Amino acid sequence: MKIYKYTYYILFLLWQKKKDEPENAKINAILTITFAMYLNILSTPLIALAFLKKDLVVMPELKSKVIIVLLLIMVGIINYTFLAKKDKHNKIIKKFAQERSNQLNFSKFLVFVYLAISFGLPLYIFLFTVP
């Protein structure tokens, strides 16, 4: 849970540096972590399909789109509840605020790697593999 909150903290700091909308940093950090987690959830059956040639999830065509959207909304609500609802955001910021600069830079790098893998792996599977 600490890594989850810390990832949110780093994403919040990165979004806060954006000059045109620093007031939206909290919701942007939640949206970013939500999409990354969502892609991680969807990547598991994709990896099995692409590399093992085994289909783990079989859903009817029409219902699959509804399930995918509901899953995204559920992940977003869970992230908001754990990270930003009421005073949780301020507690997370306060907890990690005393971090040293060199540790913060390394943490930003790790979060960037996590996001690159989360967004890059599904793209790689869609573009370069044949099921």
- What is the span of the domain harbouring residue 96? 2-128
User: What's the domain count of the chain?
Assistant: 1
- At 42-95, the pLDDT tens digits run 787 777 777 777 666 665 565 667 877 888 899 999 999 999 888 888 888 888
Residues 6+ apart with CB under 8 A from 51: 129
Per the CB < 8 A criterion, the answer to whether 38 and 71 are in contact is yes
Q: Is the pLDDT of residue 131 over 60?
A: no
The H or E element that residue 55 is part of is: none
**Per the confidence metrics, is the pTM higher than 0.85?**
no
